[in-house]
Amino acid sequence: MEWTQSILLHSSSRVNGRAGGSCYALEVSRELLRLAGIELLRSTVSSCCVWLAGWLDLVVCGHVAKH
């Protein structure tokens, strides 16, 4: 994964004492939060699409059955 490489690059350039360590931790947690957010968004969008597809299917089938 490319984000781990970017984190490692950031940490190696910043690790000078305690400040570097906290920057590294912040970077990692920020990246993990971003990934979790993307994953959550993706699952929400896919479930909405499934729901919409089902609803449209119901409407179209119901409409066709009436005629």
Query: pTM of the predicted model, to two decimals?
Result: 0.44
* Sequential pLDDT tens for the chain (67 residues): 565 666 555 555 544 555 666 778 888 888 999 989 988 998 998 898 889 888 888 888 877 777 6
Identify the CA nearest to 24 among candidates 15, 35, 37. 15
Q: What is the CA radius of gyration of the chain?
A: 23
